[in-house]
């Protein structure tokens, strides 16, 4: 299939012809759009926010594109700061909400600012809206909502692809992936999130160019992993990543363990963990990356711990040692901040303590600050067949006996009633 040529003459979709309403746009985003317009600059909503609004979805964030330079944008807002070196952007903060403002990018950039593999290392040449549209990644993300007349501007056939449920890269796919390998992860993510098909020419290079992700900083890949697995479609994203051999580029130890499994337990645990994540997000419950990474890295950790146990190391100590080894290898690919790696290791090591059901040890474990997450992890292991379900049932009953709700209630042991001492009888003063 030949590459679809870019549309140079834009298609203007008037307000009467599309379903975007300002009532569905963040008030903060509207403030940014209107202030830029009032200051004499072009002002457009762009990217996933426009795409999701056209699909009738609720956008998670709103990005703005303008012809104003980062310095000019910052001068318009007292609550703004310029970020980034590779791509200079402006973040305008309204409380906890951040509106990202980008200057139109040029089609021209210095070859010296590319790596040997073609990855763009610096891109701060500014241009026109037409150039900016053709620099976007997918056609469905290259639609501009113009605040001046509320129309949608389409330079690349994005509306047609949106209606067809098709993900298509702008330009030559291999060149675009080499410019920014993260686009391969974005293709898998959008296909999982939107339920779209990836166009054949866009899909073909992914499996053979996955090695380019090794050039991407591990901190940036951490952010991409969160978008893939903590957005409500983790199971679908996992399947897409494995289909295109991208999961092995992010979690090589886990992929190695899953590909050589002699039974279905490890894969079942991962899938159940991701299903649990999707379900909690659908119910509006919080999800922590610590639990997600604990699920994704458990199988390689378990295998390393088994080797250490075979050498005579106790189970609890083996889990501790294996945790350090597995995390040390993993952060070479995907960074894990210490604020999440520390509780993740606690979730793992507490699994050994669940086998102690005698004496006062259960009460002490119940008071541990990571008990809730560790107990949920035990339930996953039991559901996947890795541990005896009776062990998980024992801990469920034990919590109920202590007056706690195993499904998510308070996890502090009930305070024991202190016996009131009987007052001593006063001696008679005979």
The Cα–Cα gap between 20 and 26 comes to 12
Q: What is the pLDDT of residues 327-368, one digit of tens each?
A: 999 999 999 999 999 999 999 999 999 999 999 999 999 999
Residues 173 and 261 in one domain: no
Residues 139 and 270 in one domain: no
Q: What is the pLDDT of residues 194-244, one digit of tens each?
A: 999 999 999 999 999 999 999 999 999 999 999 999 999 999 999 999 999
78 falls within a domain: yes
Of the listed ranges 3-7, 283-287, 406-410, the one predicted with least confidence:
3-7
204 falls within a domain: no
Residues 169 and 259 in one domain: no
311 falls within a domain: yes
The overall average pLDDT reported for the chain is 89
Residue ending a domain, choose from 177, 207, 229: 177
Residues 165 and 259 in one domain: no
- At 425 the pLDDT is 57
- At 414 the pLDDT is 43
Indicate whether 131 pLDDT > 70. Answer: yes
Indicate whether 49 pLDDT > 70. Answer: yes
Question: At 410, is the pLDDT very low, low, confident or very high (cuts 50, 70, 90)?
Answer: very low
155 falls within a domain: yes
327 falls within a domain: yes
Q: Which of 158, 105, 111, 157 is nearest to 135 (CA)?
A: 105
Indicate whether 190 pLDDT > 90. Answer: yes
Residue ending a domain, choose from 177, 206, 240: 177
Question: At 413, is the pLDDT very low, low, confident or very high (cuts 50, 70, 90)?
Answer: very low
Residues 58 and 167 in one domain: yes
Residue ending a domain, choose from 143, 177, 211: 177
Residues 172 and 260 in one domain: no
Domain count within the chain: 2
Residues 166 and 262 in one domain: no
User: CATH number, domain at 388?
Assistant: 1.10.3090.10
184 falls within a domain: no
CB 378 within 8 A of CB 395: yes
Determine if residue 422 is left, alpha or beta; phi over 0 gives left, psi from -120 to 50 gives alpha, anything else beta: beta
- Of the chain, the percentage scoring pLDDT greater than 70 comes to 88
Average pLDDT over residues 70-76: 95
116 falls within a domain: yes
Residues 170 and 32 in one domain: yes
Q: What is the pLDDT of residues 50-66, one digit of tens each?
A: 999 999 999 989 999 99
Active site residues: 61, 63, 137
DSSP 312-378: T--HHHHHHHHHHHHHHHHTTTS---HHHHHHHHHHHHHHHHTT--STTHHHHHHTSTTHHHHHHHH
- At 114 the pLDDT is 53
Residues 265 and 171 in one domain: no
Higher-confidence position of 56 and 113: 56
Residue 171: CB atoms within 10 A of its CB come to 16
- Per the structure, the complete domain to which residue 59 belongs is given by 11-177
Indicate whether 418 pLDDT > 90. Answer: no
Residues 74 and 162 in one domain: yes
Residues 157 and 18 in one domain: yes
Long-range pairs, 190-196, Cβ under 8 A, ≥24: 190/138, 190/140, 191/167, 191/240, 192/228, 192/233, 192/236, 192/237, 192/239, 192/240, 193/231, 193/233, 193/236, 193/237, 194/55, 194/165, 194/167, 195/165, 196/140, 196/165, 196/166, 196/167
Q: Tell me the pTM.
A: 0.85
Question: At 48, is the pLDDT very low, low, confident or very high (cuts 50, 70, 90)?
Answer: very high
Residues 261 and 363 in one domain: yes
Q: What is the pLDDT of residues 306-320, one digit of tens each?
A: 999 999 999 999 999
Higher-confidence position of 411 and 427: 427
User: CATH number, domain at 97?
Assistant: 3.30.460.10
394 falls within a domain: yes
């Amino acid at each position: 299939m030949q590459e679809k040529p870019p549309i140079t003459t834009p298609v203007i979709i008037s307000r009467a012809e599309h379903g975007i309403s300002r009532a569905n746009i963040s008030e903060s985003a509207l403030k940014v759009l209107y202030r830029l317009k009032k200051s004499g600059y072009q002002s457009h909503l762009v990217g996933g926010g426009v795409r999701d609004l056209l699909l009738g979805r609720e956008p998670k964030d709103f990005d703005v594109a303008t012809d104003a330079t980062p310095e000019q944008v910052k001068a318009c807002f007292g609550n703004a700061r310029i970020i980034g070196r590779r791509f200079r952007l402006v973040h305008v903060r309204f409380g906890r909400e951040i509106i990202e403002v980008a200057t139109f990018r040029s089609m021209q950039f210095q070859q010296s600012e590319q790596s040997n593999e073609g990855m763009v290392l610096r891109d701060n040449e500014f241009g026109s809206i037409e150039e900016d549209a053709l620099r976007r990644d997918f056609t469905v993300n290259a639609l501009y909502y113009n605040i001046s007349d509320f129309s949608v501007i389409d330079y690349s056939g994005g509306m047609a692809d949106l209606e067809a449920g098709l993900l298509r890269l702008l330009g030559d796919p291999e060149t675009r992936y080499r410019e920014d390998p993260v686009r391969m992860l974005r293709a898998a993510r959008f296909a999982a999130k939107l339920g779209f098909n990836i166009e054949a020419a866009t899909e073909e290079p992914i499996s053979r160019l996955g090695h380019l992700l090794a050039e991407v900083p591990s901190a940036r890949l951490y952010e991409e992993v969160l978008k893939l697995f903590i957005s409500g479609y983790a199971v679908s994203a996992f399947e897409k990543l494995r289909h295109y051999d991208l999961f092995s580029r992010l979690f090589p130890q886990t992929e190695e363990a899953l590909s050589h499994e002699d039974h279905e337990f490890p894969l079942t645990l991962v899938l159940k963990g991701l299903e649990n994540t999707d379900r909690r997000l659908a119910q509006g419950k919080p999800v922590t990356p610590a639990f997600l990474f604990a699920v994704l890295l458990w199988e390689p950790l378990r295998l390393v711990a088994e080797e250490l146990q075979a050498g005579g190391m106790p189970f609890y100590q083996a889990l501790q040692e294996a945790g350090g080894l597995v995390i040390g290898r993993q952060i070479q690919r995907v960074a894990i901040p210490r604020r999440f790696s520390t509780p993740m290791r606690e979730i793992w090591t507490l699994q050994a303590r669940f086998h102690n059901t005698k004496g006062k040890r259960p009460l002490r474990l119940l008071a541990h600050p990571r008990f809730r997450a560790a107990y949920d992890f035990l339930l996953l292991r039991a559901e996947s067949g890795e541990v005896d379900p009776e062990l998980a049932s024992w801990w469920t009953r034990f919590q109920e006996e202590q007056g706690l709700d195993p499904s998510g209630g308070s996890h502090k042991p009930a305070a024991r009633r202190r016996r009131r001492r009987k007052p001593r009888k006063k001696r008679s003063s005979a």
